[in-house]
Amino acid sequence: MLLEALVACAGVTLRAVATATGVDLQDAVIRAEGDLDFRGTLSVAKDAPVGFKSIRLHFDLKSQADAEQLSSLMKLTERYCVVYQTLARSPDIHVEYVAAP
């Protein structure tokens, strides 16, 4: 689910940035992959961490834009993609619960 959210956000952001900057983007295939130890998630090994150790985000772009335009497109996509920035910056998270009677 996390990787799907990252790909979806990156795709929407890429398209918005391309439109805003006038980059003709004919097609884009975005995929994400990551490494995690399922033993932690499944509670099989108490010493195994829960969560991704690394994530890789791949963009296959079809465009007539030059290398400089595509580089700028990617930098701006990284900068404005909310999911990417959230993962890259590890926000403070606070958990709260209410017990129902």
**pLDDT per position as a tens digit, 71-90:** 999 999 999 999 999 999 99
CATH of the domain at 18: 3.30.300.20
Do 59 and 17 touch, CB atoms closer than 8 A?
no
Determine the pLDDT at residue 49.
86
CA neighbor of 85 nearest in space, from 61, 57, 50, 59: 57
Q: What is the pLDDT of residues 13-72, one digit of tens each?
A: 999 999 999 999 999 999 999 999 888 888 888 889 899 999 999 999 999 999 999 999
CA distance 1 to 84: 14
Residues forming beta bridges with residue 33, ordered by sequence position: 56
State the residue range of the domain holding 34: 2-89
Q: What is the pTM of this model?
A: 0.88
Q: How confident is the model at residue 10 (pLDDT cuts 50, 70, 90)?
A: very high
In a domain, 94, yes or no: no
